[in-house]
Amino acid sequence: MTTLIIIRGNSGSGKTTLAHQLHRVLPDSLLISQDIVRREMLNVKDQVGNLSISLIEQLLEFGNQQEQFVILEGILKNSVYGPMIHKQIQYFSQVVTVYYQLSLNETVRRHCTKQVTDFTPNDLTRWYQRDDSLRVEGEMIFDESVSLMMAEKQILTKINKY
Contact criterion met (CB below 8 Å) for 80 and 110: no
Above 90 in pLDDT, residue 64? yes
Confidence grade of residue 87 (pLDDT, cut at 50, 70, 90): very high
Q: Could you tell me the pTM of the whole model? A: 0.95
Domain 3-158 has CATH 3.40.50.300: yes
CA proximity to 127, closest of 73, 74, 72: 74
CA proximity to 22, closest of 152, 139, 116: 152
Task: List strand residue ranges (DSSP E) for 10-104, in order.
Answer: 29-33, 69-74, 94-100
Confidence grade of residue 162 (pLDDT, cut at 50, 70, 90): low
